[in-house]
Amino acid sequence: MTRFEYFPLSRVQEAHGVVVVIDVLRAFTTAAYAFDRGAEKILPVSTIAEAFNLKTQFPESLIMGEENGVKPEGFDFGNSPLDISKQNLKNRIIIQRTSAGTQGLTQTKNHRILIAASFVVAGATAEFLKSINPETVSFIITGQSMGRDGDEDRACAEYIERLYLGDEPIPEDFTARILTSTVGQSFMKKNLRYLAEADIEMSSLVNIFDFVMLVKSEARYRVLYPCWFQK
C-alpha cells in the first residue's frame, strides 16, 4: 500500500520515492497554463542570476517568475497564470524562477520520480500516480515557508491523495482553503498588491488540464515538461 508523506520546503531533502512538489499560488498553476499555451519545456532555477545565465545557453527562451511576489527586472513575465494564459508560447522554452515552487524542484535530491503539481493538474497527477503504484509519495508543501502556513498547497496534496485512494472528494472543500491560507488571508486584506483576483480564481480551478508535469535532468539543469498518458 502506498505511503504518503508531507514535508515543508525546509525539509525538502528528506523527501524520497515519488516526490510531488506543490505550488498552487502560483508557480505550478502558471507553469500549467504555459504548457497549455504551447510551451515546449520549462527550466526551473533557484536564483535570478541562474535564470539569466541559463538564458545565455537558450537565447530564444523567455524568463518568467518572481522574487517576493514581484516580476524581477529583465524577466519577460511575472508569476501570473492570467498573464501567461494570454500568450502564444508555441514551442518556446521557458525559464522559471520563483521563491517557493522552483526551490522545491531544484533542491529535491532523493527522488525516484519528480513531479510538479497544482489544482489545475491534480486529477492527471493522481491518475499518473495510480498508473505507477509507488511505494512512497512525498508531497513538498512549498507554501509552508517564509512564515506562511502553505495550507493551499497542503489542500491540493490532500486532494490528490484522496483521488489516488479512489475517493470522490468535493473539490470546493479543498480549494476553499486557498482563501483561508496565510497568503489567501493577506490577499483578502489587500496586503498583496501583486496578486490579482483573476490569479486566485484561475488557481482555484480543478482538473482543467489532462497532463502531469514531470521533471527530468538534462546536462546540468532540470526540465519540466507535460506528459499526456493513457489511464
What's the pLDDT tens digit per position in 83-129? Answer: 999 999 999 999 999 999 999 999 999 999 999 999 999 999 999 99
The residue range of the domain holding 18 is: 3-227
Reply yes or no on whether the pLDDT at 231 is more than 60.
Answer: no
Q: pLDDT at position 230, please?
A: 61
Separation CA 99–CA 143 (nearest Å): 9
**Mean pLDDT confidence for 37-50:** 98
pTM of the model: 0.97
Q: Which of 167, 135, 158, 159 is nearest to 2 (CA)?
A: 135
Tens digit of pLDDT for each residue in 174-228?
Answer: 999 999 999 999 988 889 888 999 999 999 999 999 999 999 998 889 999 999 9
**Mean pLDDT confidence for 57-83:** 97
Q: pLDDT at position 219, please?
A: 82
Q: Which residues of 29-66 are buried (b: 16+ CB within 10 A; e: fewer)?
A: bbbbbbbbbebbbbbbbeebebbbebbeebeebbbbbb
Total domains in the chain come to: 1
Whichever domain contains 9, its CATH number is 3.90.1560.10
